[in-house]
């Protein structure tokens, strides 16, 4: 199916690339975190569908996101109700509208713990999820991942309606695509270095204009670009540029020298050294 739907394959590739760019370069860790997000999305969708079906048929249905939830660590307190959280705030369709910082904190401290405890402390699900950890590090990555997963589900739903394929089968194809990325990375030795590690290493090595810089395991040229950005930033600082700010990784970086002509000459010189 994915071979016949380049749009869906492109979205899955985008999702992988966003996790790598966001600092999660290990494919196993990436697919673990992606799976958690897919589960959050699918759980909300299924719950809404079952609620609508129950209203249509007049049957009773205990919605997953109705009522309140008290985290396990507060249940033995004298007044546990003060720690109660409205379950509706834990659903995908609710938290996806939050601002980036608020969304990450909300998912880390409330949504994910709720999922782990969803079937009760004694359930098999909770037992197998006890060591699960939500480790998406940056608010921007979570926002982008949520947006991309929404787009993936929209394409899956459209495919299901237009081609008559069961949604579960399409979802299975998506997981196969995600798993194939792990196999490809492992087979080819393609484990990319996260950007914040590249910036840290450039900060430690402190390359200077005129140095010879080599990256024997160069893939996409991350270390070469990181070295170039470090050098340009240092020149900008020496030139008196005052408006430089730390990026999302906590490093001061710029790709443009105050003098465009000098920056272009430096880039040409830098490339000739490679």
Give the tens place of pLDDT for each residue, 11-51: 888 888 888 888 887 777 888 898 899 889 989 988 888 88
Extended beta strands in 3-89, E state = 68-69, 85-86
Mean pLDDT, residues 136-157: 90
Q: How confident is the model at residue 260 (pLDDT cuts 50, 70, 90)?
A: low
pLDDT of residue 176: 72
Give yes or no for a contact between 209 and 266, defined as CB atoms under 8 angstroms apart.
yes
What are the pLDDT digits (tens) for 186-224? 544 555 677 778 888 888 889 988 888 888 877 667 888
pLDDT of residue 114: 92
Phi then psi for 210, rounded to 5 degrees? Answer: 105, -15
Give yes or no for a contact between 207 and 193, defined as CB atoms under 8 angstroms apart.
no
Token pair of 115 as six digits: 């999922």
Name beta bridge partners: 252. Answer: 246
Examine the pLDDT at 170 and tell me if it is beyond 70.
Answer: no
Identify which has the larger pLDDT, 128 or 86. Answer: 86
Give yes or no for a contact between 188 and 194, defined as CB atoms under 8 angstroms apart.
no
Identify which has the larger pLDDT, 12 or 147. Answer: 147
Whole-structure pTM over 0.85, yes or no?
no
- The domain locations on the chain are 2-188, 195-273
For the chain, percent helix, then strand, then coil, each to nearest 5?
65, 0, 35
CB atoms within 10 A of CB 51: 16
Give yes or no for a contact between 107 and 142, defined as CB atoms under 8 angstroms apart.
yes
Examine the pLDDT at 256 and tell me if it is beyond 70.
Answer: no
Range 66-73 contact pairs with CB under 8 angstroms and sequence separation of 24 or more: 69/114, 69/117, 71/113, 71/114, 71/117, 72/117, 72/121
258 alpha-carbon distance from chain centroid: 34
The H or E element spanning position 72 is none
Give yes or no for a contact between 225 and 213, defined as CB atoms under 8 angstroms apart.
no
DSSP state of 123: S
Mean pLDDT, residues 53-78: 85
d(Cα 159, Cα 182) in Å, to the nearest integer?
25
The H or E element spanning position 59 is none
Choose the most confident range, by mean pLDDT, from 157-161, 197-201, 264-268: 197-201
User: Is CATH 1.10.540 what the domain over 2-188 is classified as, yes or no?
Assistant: no
Examine the pLDDT at 98 and tell me if it is beyond 90.
Answer: yes
pLDDT of residue 50: 85
Examine the pLDDT at 94 and tell me if it is beyond 90.
Answer: yes
> How far from 171 is each of 12, 30, 51, 154, CA to CA, in Å?
12, 18, 22, 12
Identify which has the larger pLDDT, 101 or 267. Answer: 101
């Amino acid at each position: 199916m994915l071979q016949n739907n380049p749009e869906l394959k492109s979205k899955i590739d985008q999702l992988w690339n966003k996790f790598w760019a966001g600092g999660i370069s290990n494919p196993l860790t990436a697919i673990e975190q992606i799976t958690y997000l897919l589960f959050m999305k699918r759980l909300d969708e299924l719950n809404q569908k079952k609620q609508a079906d129950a209203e249509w048929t007049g049957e009773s249905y205990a919605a997953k996101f109705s009522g309140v939830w008290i985290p396990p660590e507060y249940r033995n307190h004298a007044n546990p109700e003060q720690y109660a959280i409205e379950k509706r705030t834990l659903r995908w369709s609710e938290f996806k509208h939050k601002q980036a910082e608020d969304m990450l904190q909300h998912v880390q401290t409330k949504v994910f713990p709720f999922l782990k405890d969803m079937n009760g402390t004694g359930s098999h699900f909770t037992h197998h999820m006890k060591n699960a950890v939500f480790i998406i590090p940056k608010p921007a990555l979570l926002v982008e991942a949520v947006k991309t997963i929404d787009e993936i589900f929209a394409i899956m739903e459209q495919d299901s309606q237009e081609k008559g394929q069961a949604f579960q089968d399409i979802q299975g194809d998506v997981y196969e695509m995600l798993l194939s990325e792990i196999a490809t990375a492992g087979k080819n030795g393609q484990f990319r270095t996260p950007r914040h590690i590249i910036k840290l290493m450039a900060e430690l090595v402190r390359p200077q204009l005129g140095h010879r810089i080599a990256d024997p395991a160069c893939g996409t040229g991350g270390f070469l670009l990181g070295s170039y950005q470090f050098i340009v930033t240092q020149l900008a600082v020496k030139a008196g540029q005052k408006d430089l700010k730390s990026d999302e990784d906590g490093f001061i970086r710029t790709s443009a020298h105050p003098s465009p002509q000098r920056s272009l000459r430096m880039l040409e010189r830098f490339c000739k050294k490679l």
